[in-house]
Structure 1
Amino acid sequence: MRRPKSSAKKTKAASTSGANPSKGPTRGKRVKAPAAPKETMYVEEKRNLEDLWQAAFPVGTEWDNMDKLSEINWNFTNLESAFEEGGELHGKKVYMFGCTEPQMLEVNGERKVTLVPIVVVVVSPIPPSDKIGIKSVQRETEEIIPMKAMKMAWIPYIPLEDRDKEVVRLKTQIYTMGCTQRRSALKHLKIERVKQYDYCLPYIQPLKADEHEDDTVVDIMYPLEPPIVCDFDWELDELEEFTDRLIKDEELPEDQKDAFKEYVKEQVRERKRTQRQAKEARKKAIEDIDPETRAAFENMRFYKFYPVQTPDTPDISEVKVAYINRYYGKAHVVM
């Protein structure tokens, strides 16, 4: 006789739910051990203007020496604090450029020539210039050319805290001289073109005569082997006596006397011509300048910033000078 389905289900349920005496006690649920606490990582927060000094292209520094600037952990917190509230440059419109000064310094117990980075800040409502000067002792002539010819321009500086914002909405008061020339492309340029960057100087049109405009001294480099290198002052030196003295000192062969004298005369003529052209150019620039621009130039102030002394940097306290370059002259303030 067939059992009812209901009783079969009950029998099966009874057999599966009953305790099995042959098996041990039921194993409890595994509890995961608590993870070891992670060590807290502290990352130093970047300062808002930390890379400001690096944004200013080091004009006139040889490309091969650019990497040397990062060998020392230079600190320009003095530049940063000048732009913060209460600082001397806070809220002012400025134009900045970088440069370098080679100095004999003690680095890690060794005295060696070290490139010291410098930042020059020009307080002005207008750009100091859109031109660059190219001049060195090795170059006989001086060139004043547009900054864009050297791929340079005044670029707005954006503080770190504002770099995630739309640039069009930002109103910066800080502009730095930037250069878009790629180092990787230098190998495709002519040597003379690359050397131009080594001789670049930030330019500004002087409204007053500089200290060299009426200088009566010319640099002589007479082409011999080795060359004769000396200074000749056309007001104080008498050419005949000057030449005879060089012959007497066995620096100049006697058979080169006439050629040397003619060379010196040509150098003097060229120097006087250059001075005359500089005076005329300055005079014309002053005449053509509008009153507002002239007032801006007359009220410009130059600040020269050296790195701050830290335990990681060499002592530069004895090498600070106010002189900037032949166009800018001296800084009003040295920091």
Structure 2
Amino acid sequence: MRRRRALANSRKRKSPPPEEEAESGAVEARQPEEEPQSEAVETSQPEEIGNGGAPNPPRRRRAPKAAKPETEPEFFPEKRNLEDLWQAAFPVGTEWENMDKLSEIKWNFSNLENAFEEGGVLHGKTVYMFGCTEPQLLVVNGEQKVTLIPIVVVVDSPIPPSDKIGIKSVQRETEEIIPMKAMKMAWVPYIPLEDRLSQVDRLKTQIFTLGCTQRRSALKLLKIERVKKYDYCLPYFQPLQADEDEEDTVVNIMFPLEPPVVCDFDWELDECEEFTNELIQNEALPEDKKDEFMAYVKEQVKERKKAQREARQARQKAIDDMDERTKSAFENMKFYKFYPVQTPDTPDISEVKVPYINRYYGKAHFVM
């Protein structure tokens, strides 16, 4: 017993000083009060200890984003079902460098669209369409300038009017009649906007447009002569009856000089030597070129007569080979020539409308 009391007394003498006891006692006394605070801390994200044991700075709360002001919804005009119909018809015979000029003016072909609506002149009919352009001097934005007017020709026919293209111009001495596919052209079905999500093979379209698959980006790889052919292309058509041009006795003369001698010679009304002497008197032709010029004119007349004779023979053969359905279709074909309608954004074209289409189709039955 005495030894136990001695050990107890020695332990009391080794206890910490009263100040430390007070501090430790205070800590022990505060622990119960800090328990609620520790519970609150547990509910928040714990602080990460880093940088040698120093606590990381508290994260700043992001300020709420300012509410964007409400803007009125933007409405776009609904596209019409046949809005791009006129653009689907390739503008045959238009120079490639002039293609982009057609989009400089906001042309409107609502008259063409309305023709296919219920009650329109082309509603429910099978048609074949091609485009072309006519250069005219118009007032655009208060200034006179040569402007290309887009034209759409519609052929009302149950069968394609032709599968050929004619290549002819004043600059070309010969005329070529070649298949459309030789110029990468063909009649292709037009699909209205509302049907373009449907399966094309199930659609029974009645509108066909003359399309061209020649890529403009590949023109630089072609020979210049090949590219120029597109400038002189004309949709070909051979009617059952001879047109005025086929029986014409006038030939276009372009005698190769510098500058060339350009004139018209009528073999029924003009006498070749007298015609040549008149050009010499007017200083349009050098006198030392008289014989050469007369030989050139006679050759042109000979070629023209030959072309007319072959055209008559080809027409007769085509008629003989036609079945009754095809012959009936050719006899009842109607040509519609559509000009753009007048709008505040387009120049006035009311004074330049003509029924003439080209040397093969002749004149339109209706000008719209």
**Fold shared, TM-score > 0.5 on shorter chain:** yes
The residue aligned with 1:311 is 344
Please point out which of 255, 258, 262 is paired with 2:288: 255
- TM-score normalised to structure 1 length: 0.89
Q: Distance in 1 between matches of 2:243 and 2:309?
A: 13
- TM-score normalised to structure 2 length: 0.81
Deviations 1:186-206 (A, max 9, x none): 000000100111111111121
Find the residue that maps to 1:214 and give its secondary structure.
Answer: coil
The residue aligned with 2:308 is 275
Q: Which runs of 5+ in 1 are unaligned?
A: 1-10, 21-29
Find the residue that maps to 1:213 and give its secondary structure.
Answer: coil
Inter-CA distance 34–324: structure 2 relative to 1 (3 Å threshold)? same
Please point out which of 161, 164, 171 is paired with 2:194: 161
Please point out which of 317, 320, 323 is paired with 1:284: 317
**Structure 2 residue 36 is the aligned partner of structure 1 residue 16:** yes
Deviations 1:167-211 (A, max 9, x none): 111111111110000000000000010011111111112111111
The residue aligned with 1:293 is 326
Find the residue that maps to 1:193 and give its secondary structure.
Answer: helix
User: How far has the Cα of 1:87 moved from its partner?
Assistant: 1.3
Inter-CA distance 13–49: structure 2 relative to 1 (3 Å threshold)? farther
Deviations 1:250-281 (A, max 9, x none): 33233222222222211111111111111111
Where do residues 194-213 of structure 1 align in structure 2 (5 Å cutoff)?
Answer: 194-213=227-246
Please point out which of 307, 328, 332 is paired with 2:361: 328
Inter-CA distance 35–214: structure 2 relative to 1 (3 Å threshold)? closer
Sequence identity (%): 77
Inter-CA distance 47–272: structure 2 relative to 1 (3 Å threshold)? same
The residue aligned with 1:100 is 133
Find the residue that maps to 2:73 and give its secondary structure.
Answer: coil
Find the residue that maps to 1:65 and give its secondary structure.
Answer: helix
Please point out which of 55, 70, 86 is paired with 2:88: 55
Count the aligned residue pairs.
314
Q: Distance in 1 between matches of 2:249 and 2:69?
A: 80
The structure with more radius of gyration: 2
The residue aligned with 1:4 is none
Find the residue that maps to 1:87 and give its secondary structure.
Answer: coil
Report which stretch shifted further, 111-120 or 236-245.
236-245
Find the residue that maps to 2:130 and give its secondary structure.
Answer: strand
Paired residue type of 1:243: T
Paired residue type of 2:358: N
Deviations 1:190-247 (A, max 9, x none): 0010011111111112111111222111222222222222221111112222222222
Query: What's the Cα RMSD here?
Result: 2.1
Report which stretch shifted further, 246-255 or 61-70.
246-255
User: How far has the Cα of 1:285 moved from its partner?
Assistant: 1.0
Q: Distance in 2 between matches of 1:173 and 1:13?
A: 91
**Structure 2 residue 134 is the aligned partner of structure 1 residue 114:** no
Q: Which runs of 5+ in 2 are unaligned?
A: 1-30, 41-62
Find the residue that maps to 1:126 and give its secondary structure.
Answer: coil
Find the residue that maps to 2:106 and give its secondary structure.
Answer: coil
Inter-CA distance 33–92: structure 2 relative to 1 (3 Å threshold)? same
